[in-house]
A and B are shown apart, each in its own frame.
Chain A
Amino acid sequence: MNYYQMWVSFYTIVRKDIVRIFRIWPQTFLPSIITSILYFLVFGKVLGGRIGEIGGHPYITFVVPGLVMLAVVTNSFSNVATTFFQAKFFARNIDEILVSPTPAWVIIAGYVAGGMVRGITIGLLVIVVSAFFSPLPFTHPLIILLFLILSSLLFSLAGLVNGIYAKSFDGITIVPTFVLTPLVYLGGVFYSAQALPPLWQKLTFADPIFYLINGFRAGFMGFSDISLSLSIGVLAVLIAILVGINWYFIRTGLGLRQ
C-alpha cells in the first residue's frame, strides 16, 4: 500500500466509526452530559458552597476540569474497547480489515482516532454545559487543547488494548468498572493532592489520570499540583508504551488470529 491508500484505509475506519457515533448520539453523547450536569448540581451548587475555595477559585470551578477529564477518559476508552470487541467477537467483521493489506499501525490509528473524536467531542460538550454552572477561566487554551488530545489518545489506546485482548464481554466491562473508575476518582477530580497525607500523595502520583487532570486544570486555572512538563512526560511515555503493545498485538495477531 502506498501512503495515499493507507490514508484511504485510515479514513474508512474513522468515517465508519464517526457515522456510528453520531447516529446513536443518545447512547454516545447524552449519558455523559446528563451525568456531568448532575455532578455540577451536586458538587457545584449543593456541596460546593460548603467546601469553599481551592487555589482562589470556587470549588465548582476547581472540579470542572476533572469532570471534563472523567467524560473524555471514559468515553474514549469505552468507544474503542466496545467497537473493537464487537467487531472481533460478535459479527467477526474485524476480519474485513485483517484480511486486507491495511498495516497494523493504520488499524491502530483508525480505531484510536474514532475514540478520540468521541472523547474530544464529549469533552467540549461538557465544557459548554459547565459554563452554565460556573464561569471558567480559560487561562491557557492551548494547554487545555493539548491535554484534551493527550487524554483521549491515551485512553483510546488503552481501550484498544482492552478490546483486542478481551475474550468475553465481561473482559471489556471489568476494566472500566474496577480499574478506570477508581483511577479517575482517585486521580484528583474532586480534590487537590496537596490536601492528602504524604502516603496517599505518593499513591496518587502513580495514577496516570492525576497527570491528566492536573495538566488540564493548569490550562483552565493556571495552577497545578505538579509541573506541566512532568505531566506531559509521563503521558508521552504511557502513550508510547500503549502504542507498542497495540502494534505487537495486531502485528502478531495475539488475541485476534488463531
Chain B
Amino acid sequence: MQNALSIHKLKKTYGNGVEALKGVSLEVPEGDFFALLGPNGAGKTTIIGVVTGLVNKTEGTVSVFGHDIEKEPETARAQIGVVPQEINFNPFEKCIDVVVNQGGYYGIPRKTAIPYAEQLLKDLGIFDKRDMTGWTLSGGMKRRLLIARALIHQPRFLILDEPTAGVDVELRRGMWDYLKTLTEKGVTILLTTHYLEEAEQLCKHVAIINKGEIAASGTMEEVLALHDGATPKDGYRGGRLEEVFLKLTRE
C-alpha cells in the first residue's frame, strides 16, 4: 500500500530566522487515521502549511500519494482537503457558497457541487444555515463549515489542524464519529489536536513533534509502549498518551 503522505528531511526556516522544522521525516499510510501531536509552536501547522502549499519549504521532499508537491503541485493538491486551524472563509458569503465555490476551485461545476454541498451540510448538521452568511454562525458551526468545505471535492487525504478547538463535548464527539465514517470509506486523515485522549482512541498511527523534530512516531501501541508505567503521586493524571507526550516534550 502506498503512503498518502511521505515527508523526507523536511526543513523550514522562516524569514525571521526561526527554524520551525529541523529535518522532519514522516510517513502516513493510505487509509490511516494519523495523529500529529505536539505542543504549541512545535511545527505541526508548518508541516501542514508545506504539504498544502501555503508555506514554502527550505529543504527536503514532500509527496502526496507519490506526487511530489514541488514537481506536481496541482496533482498533489487535488488529493488534499484541508481544515485549517484558523477560520478562513469569507464571512460575508453564504455557507452554501463557501462550500460550492471551493468545489469550483477544484473544477467542480456548480450544478454538480450544489447537491453534494447540501448533503455535506446535512451530514454535519448545518443544513438549516445554508443561506446564512458565515459570520453569523457559532464557533462550532464555523468548524463544521470548514470540514464541509474541505470535503467538497471528495479528497483522498484530509488534513485537520485542530478541528475541535473551542468545540463543546457533544459536538466534538459528533465530529469524531463523522470523521471515523470517512476513514471507513478509505479517506486518509491527518489530525492535529490537543485532545490526546481522543487521539489515543481514534488514531492508528501517531507522531509527536517537539521543537521542529519528531520525538516519537509509530503505531499508537508502539508510542504508548514508551510509557514507563509510573503514575504521578499527586495532581492531575492524564491518559497514557498524555503522559508519553509530556515525557517526550518536556525532555
Binding site for B on A (CB under 8 A): 1-2, 4-6, 8-9, 11-13, 15-16, 87, 91-93, 95-103, 252-253, 257-258
Contacts and interface: CB of A to CB of B under 8 A. Distances in A.
A96 B107 contact: no
Interface string B85-104: 01011110100010001101
A99 B15 CA distance: 21
Interface in B97-139: 97, 101-102, 104-110
Interface residues of B, number: 33
A98 B54 contact: yes
Given A99-B77, A100-B102, A257 B56 contact: yes
Interface in B60-81: 73-75, 77-78, 80
Contacts of A8: 104, 107-109
A106 to B, nearest CB: 9
B140 interface: no
Contacts of A96: 88-89, 101-102, 105, 149
B88 A257 contact: no
Contacts of A16: 93, 97, 101
A16 B90 CA distance: 11
A8 B108 CA distance: 7
A97 B74 CA distance: 11
Given A5-B107, A95-B54, A257-B54, A101 B74 contact: yes
Interface of B: 14-15, 49, 52-56, 73-75, 77-78, 80, 82, 84, 86, 88-91, 93, 97, 101-102, 104-110, 149
Contacts of B14: 258
A99 B50 CA distance: 10
Contacts of A257: 53-56
Main secondary structure of the interface of A (DSSP, over half): helix
Nearest to A91: B90
Contacts of A93: 88-90
Given A95-B84, A99-B53, A100-B77, A12 B89 contact: no
Contacts of A1: 74, 78, 107
Given A91-B90, A93-B88, A93-B90, A100 B54 contact: no
Nearest to A107: B105
Contact of A99 (B54, B86, B104, B107): B54
Contact of A258 (B49, B77, B109, B110): B49
A103 B105 CA distance: 10
B106 A253 contact: no
24 contacts: A1-B74, A5-B106, A5-B107, A8-B109, A12-B104, A12-B110, A16-B93, A16-B97, A93-B90, A96-B88, A99-B52, A99-B54, A99-B77, A100-B106, A101-B73, A101-B74, A101-B105, A102-B105, A253-B53, A253-B56, A257-B53, A257-B54, A257-B56, A258-B55
A191 to B, nearest CB: 42
A101 B78 contact: yes
B106 A9 contact: yes
Contacts of B52: 99
B105 A12 contact: yes
A9 B53 CA distance: 18
A83 B91 CA distance: 14
Q: Which of A98, A99, A253, A257 has its CB near the most chain B CB atoms (within 10 A)?
A: A99
Contacts of A9: 104-107
A232 to B, nearest CB: 34
A8 B110 CA distance: 9
Contacts of B78: 1, 100-101
Given A103-B74, A258-B49, A97 B105 contact: yes
Given A99-B53, A258-B55, A92 B86 contact: yes
Contact of A101 (B49, B75, B84, B101): B75
Contact of B80 (A15, A91, A99): A99
B121 to A, nearest CB: 17
Given A4-B107, A101-B107, A253-B53, 6 more contacts: A5-B106, A8-B107, A12-B110, A99-B54, A101-B73, A258-B55
Contacts of B101: 12, 16, 96
Contacts of B149: 96
Nearest to A257: B56
Contacts of A15: 104
A93 B89 CA distance: 5
A248 to B, nearest CB: 14
Contact of B82 (A5, A11, A91, A99): A99
B62 to A, nearest CB: 14
